């Protein structure tokens, strides 16, 4: 069938089941193609319907029930995936809870009949008039996958070259796709899998629909490019024309007039500002976007210009108790893009008005049945100050009258008792409604308090985290300072050791028999190694500093107070001679005598100190040694004489003992 008849390029397909069932083997469909003026009708199979949709690419495929085209959700998603990019599936009878097609057609003055072809025509006309909801299973995020077009297989050196070529081609195609996405100013994320020679695949997650992406799916040689939209968790319904809905309007008048439009759920639909448009132009702009039921300003009292707009739409008005502060307006409109301060003020007025009435809007939404227009009820409650129940009763009575066969009757006059009963019932209804509203308000306040408590807990967690971070920074700073101190101490120690090394070199020259490098006047010098005190700790410190070895000349700067262990530690060194300041203890003198360690007073020995070390004349040291040897010989004589006296005394004592016993 030919569908491109005359008036419009955008063709609408209206579809209804002619016979059979989509769950069966071969359902047939009544198909009406409508271009705004002409209608083409046909009966087609499901397969032919899909071929026609693919070939003609209609703007809309309209039906009164989306599950007439697919038996379940998975099949419906598959059907939506196969639709051309610019083709929408529209359910003209509503969203999750559709109305009867007859009622929708009557409300919009569209011809209707019970035959499938008449229902298909009604669906096409309604969709052409922007009535209904687009059925969507996909987000505006698209995945573009660049991968290998053939398997790399297995093989040797030639196979490696083949694999490298394929991966190199995938990498080259990936760069081309990325360049095209950047040229189109699209936001995307890239995830690549690197393999030998290049990429095995690359996945681009693009914030756009396939129609907006300048890349097409294809498979050529080594490369395969797949394009797939990201699927939602469920089915979403989007109204074709939001302009038929009731809206909330915020206006900021002045030299530059700004207008903001919200839906009844608080979502921002549009923002506009102008310096040239007059009131009529702005009213026309608003009419194109919806029916205002609430007009708001950001100052108190409401400006006269805003009041004129409110009266033009016969809408309810809202103004704050006092002028909204700039900080508050910035915070409330922080998640919405706007071009100037006037648009920000209009947005803030509309958003604050929505916040003020949000609980009321939600209560109305819960009470309104699916078949009743929530916006109509909300508008009558706000502008007419009617109760939700009375508006619903009146609207339901009107619906019931529409469905009647046409017979009418006059209601009888109620008695006084019946009138009183009716009045009391209405009062009970109002009171129950008021109680329900109060309960819902209480629940909302409790939820708000809970939300604030959660925010407080989150703020405390952030504060604790920041405190931990501050402590960690302080700890790192202290550690850095400690390391800097250690570095400075190490540098100082290094300088000290360097000086000590130089002194040790000088001492080494004096401590060896080869004095070729020493001046002639130093030929009679001998090194002297000083020990600060005659204690084990001082001896160990001197040994650690410059080493104590056998045949050293050791100087005790303070020889007093030494014990047996200190003397034995010095005797272990086996020095050549010990020069001392002060008097040795009897214990120390005995140990040195026992080990035959020469010692003598430093008096008479001219010692020249070089920093921590010292030198003395060899002749002076020899004099001390000679003196010690003389004293040692005299001491041995005295000891021998004493020993002989002791032996004689013992012998005499034994003789006397024998005589007494004999």
- Using CA atoms, how far apart are residues 152 and 173, in angstroms rounded to an integer? 17
Q: How far apart are CA 394 and CA 371, in angstroms?
A: 14
Of residues 1 and 332, more confidence is placed in: 332
**Structure confidence by residue, pLDDT tens digits, 227-260:** 888 888 778 888 876 545 789 999 999 888 999 9
pLDDT at 512: 53
3-state helix, strand, coil in the chain (%, to 5): 50, 20, 30
Q: Does position 128 have pLDDT exceeding 80, yes or no?
A: yes
Which tens digits make up the pLDDT trace of 80-116?
A: 888 888 899 999 998 877 888 988 888 788 899 989 9
Residue 406 has pLDDT above 50, yes or no: no
**Cα separation, 508 vs 450, whole angstroms:** 84
Q: What are the extents of the domains in the chain?
A: 12-131, 140-231, 242-380, 424-510, 521-644
| Predicted confidence (pLDDT) at residue 426 exceeds the cutoff of 80 | no
Q: Report the range of poorest mean pLDDT among 28-37, 442-451, 575-584.
A: 442-451
In angstroms, how far is the first alpha carbon of the chain from the final one?
Answer: 166
Task: Look at 409 and 106; give whichever has higher pLDDT.
Answer: 106
State pLDDT tens for residues 261-291: 998 888 888 899 988 877 878 888 888 788 8
pLDDT surpasses 60 at 568 = yes
pLDDT class for 408, splitting at 50, 70, 90?
very low
pLDDT in tens, 431-441: 777 787 788 78
Mean pLDDT of the chain: 83
User: Which pLDDT score is estimated for 496?
Assistant: 84
Least confident of 409-423, 482-496, 498-512, 587-601: 409-423
Q: Which two tokens stand for residue 280?
A: 């009529």
- Residue bearing tokens 């140990």: 591
The two tokens of residue 552 are 């050293």
**pTM tops 0.75:** no
- Looking at domain 242-380, its CATH architecture is 2-Layer Sandwich (3.30)
Higher per-residue confidence, 654 vs 327: 327
Q: 140-231 — its CATH code? A: 3.30.70
142-191 tens-digit pLDDT:
899 999 887 776 544 456 788 888 888 999 999 999 999 988 888 889 99
Residue 1 vs residue 471, higher pLDDT:
471
* DSSP, residue by residue, 285-349: HHHTT-EEEEEE-SSSSPPHHHHHHHHHHT-EEE--SSPPPHHHHHHHTTTS--SSHHHHHHHHH
| Contact status, residue 201 vs residue 148, Cβ threshold 8 Å | yes
The predicted pLDDT at position 1 comes to: 39
Q: What is the pLDDT of residues 461-517, one digit of tens each?
A: 899 899 999 999 999 999 999 999 999 999 998 988 887 777 666 666 655 544 334
In sequence order, what DSSP letters do the residues of 581-604 get, joined into one string?
SS---HHHHHHHHHTT--EEESTT
pLDDT digits (tens, 9 = 90+) for 531-554: 989 999 999 988 888 788 888 899
pLDDT for 34: 92
Among candidate residues 36, 32, 26, the one with its CA nearest the CA of residue 13 = 32
* SS3 assignment, position 204: strand
**CA 532, CA 537: separation in Å to the nearest integer?**
10
Q: According to the model, what pLDDT value does residue 409 have? A: 36
The per-residue b/e assignment along 406-432, b for 16 or more CB within 10 angstroms, e otherwise, is eeeeeeeeeeeeeeeeeeeeeeeeeee
Structure tokens at 542: 């001197």
Top CATH class, 12-131: alpha beta
CA dihedral 562, 565, 571, 573 (to 10 degrees): -110
Residues facing residue 229 across a β-bridge: 142
> What pLDDT score was predicted for residue 153?
61
Listed range (471-485, 514-528, 637-651) with the worst mean pLDDT: 514-528
Query: Looking up tokens 């995945």, which residue turns up?
Result: 143
pLDDT at 323: 92
In this predicted model, what pLDDT tens digit does every residue of 343-402 receive, in sequence order? 999 999 999 999 999 988 888 888 887 667 777 888 888 876 677 777 777 766 555 444
Q: What is the pLDDT of residue 515?
A: 36
Give the start-end residues of each E strand in 149-264.
188-195, 198-207, 218-220, 223-239, 246-252, 257-262
* C-alpha span between 6 and 309 (Å, rounded): 41
Fold identical between 12-131 and 140-231?
Answer: no
């Amino acid at each position: 069938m030919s569908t491109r008849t005359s008036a419009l390029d955008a063709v609408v397909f209206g579809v209804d089941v002619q016979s059979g069932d989509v769950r069966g083997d071969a359902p047939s469909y009544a198909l009406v193609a409508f271009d705004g003026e002409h209608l083409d009708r046909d009966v087609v199979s499901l397969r032919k319907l899909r071929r026609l949709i693919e070939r003609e690419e209609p703007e809309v495929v309209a039906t009164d029930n989306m599950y007439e085209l697919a038996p379940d959700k998975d099949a419906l998603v598959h059907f939506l995936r196969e639709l051309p990019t610019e083709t929408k599936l529209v359910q003209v009878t509503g969203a999750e809870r559709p109305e009867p097609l007859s009622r929708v057609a009557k409300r919009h003055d569209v011809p209707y009949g019970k035959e499938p072809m008449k229902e298909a025509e009604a669906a096409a006309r309604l969709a052409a008039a922007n009535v209904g909801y687009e059925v969507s299973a996909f987000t505006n995020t698209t995945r573009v996958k660049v991968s290998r077009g053939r398997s790399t297989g297995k093989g040797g050196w030639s196979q490696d070259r083949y694999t490298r070529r394929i991966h190199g081609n995938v990498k080259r195609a990936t760069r081309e796709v990325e360049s095209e996405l950047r040229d189109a100013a699209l936001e995307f994320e890239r995830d690549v899998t690197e393999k030998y020679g290049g990429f095995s695949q690359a996945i681009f997650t693009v914030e756009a629909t396939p129609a907006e992406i300048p890349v097409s799916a294809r498979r050529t040689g080594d490369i395969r490019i797949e394009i797939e939209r990201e699927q939602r968790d469920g089915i979403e319904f989007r109204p074709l024309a939001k302009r038929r809905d009731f809206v909330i309007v915020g206006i900021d008048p002045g030299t530059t007039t700004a207008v903001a439009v919200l839906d009844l759920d608080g979502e921002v639909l549009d923002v506009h500002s102008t310096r040239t448009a007059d009131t009529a132009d702005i009213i026309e702009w608003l009419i194109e976007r919806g029916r205002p039921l609430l007009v708001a300003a950001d100052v108190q009292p409401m400006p006269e210009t805003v009041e004129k707009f409110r009266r033009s739409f016969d809408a309810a008005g809202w103004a704050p108790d006092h002028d909204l502060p700039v900080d508050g307006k910035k915070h409330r409109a922080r998640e919405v893009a706007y071009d100037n301060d006037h648009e920000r003020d209009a947005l803030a007025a509309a958003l604050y008005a929505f916040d003020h009435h949000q609980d009321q809007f939600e209560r109305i939404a819960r009470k309104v049945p699916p078949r009743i227009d929530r916006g109509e009820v909300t508008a009558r409650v706000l502008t007419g100050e009617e109760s939700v129940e009375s508006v619903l009763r009146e609207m339901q009575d009107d619906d019931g009258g529409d469905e009647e066969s046409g017979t009418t009757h006059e209601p009888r006059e109620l008695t006084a008792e019946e009138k009183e009963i009716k009045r009391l019932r209405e009062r009970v209804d109002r009171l129950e409604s008021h109680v329900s509203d109060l309960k819902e308000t209480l629940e909302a306040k409790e939820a708000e308090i809970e939300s604030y408590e959660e925010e407080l807990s989150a703020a405390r967690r952030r504060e604790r985290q920041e405190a931990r971070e501050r402590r960690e920074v302080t700890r790192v700073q202290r550690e850095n300072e400690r390391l800097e101190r250690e570095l400075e101490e190490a540098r100082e120690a290094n300088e000290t050791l360097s000086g000590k090394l130089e002194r040790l070199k000088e001492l080494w020259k004096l401590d060896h028999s080869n004095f070729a490098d020493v001046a002639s006047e130093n030929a009679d010098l001998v090194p002297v190694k000083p020990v600060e005190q005659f204690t084990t700790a001082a001896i160990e410190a001197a040994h650690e500093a410059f080493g104590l070895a056998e045949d050293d000349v050791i100087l005790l700067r303070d020889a007093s107070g030494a014990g047996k262990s200190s003397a034995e530690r010095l005797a272990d060194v086996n020095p050549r001679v010990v020069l001392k300041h002060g008097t040795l203890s009897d214990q120390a003198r005995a140990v040195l005598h026992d080990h035959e360690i020469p010692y003598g007073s430093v008096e008479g020995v001219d010692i020249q100190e070089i920093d921590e070390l010292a030198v003395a004349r060899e002749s002076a040291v020899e004099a001390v040694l000679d003196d010690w040897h003389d004293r040692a010989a005299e001491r041995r004589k005295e000891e021998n004489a004493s020993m002989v006296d002791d032996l004689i005394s013992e012998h005499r004592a034994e003789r006397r003992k024998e005589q007494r016993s004999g």
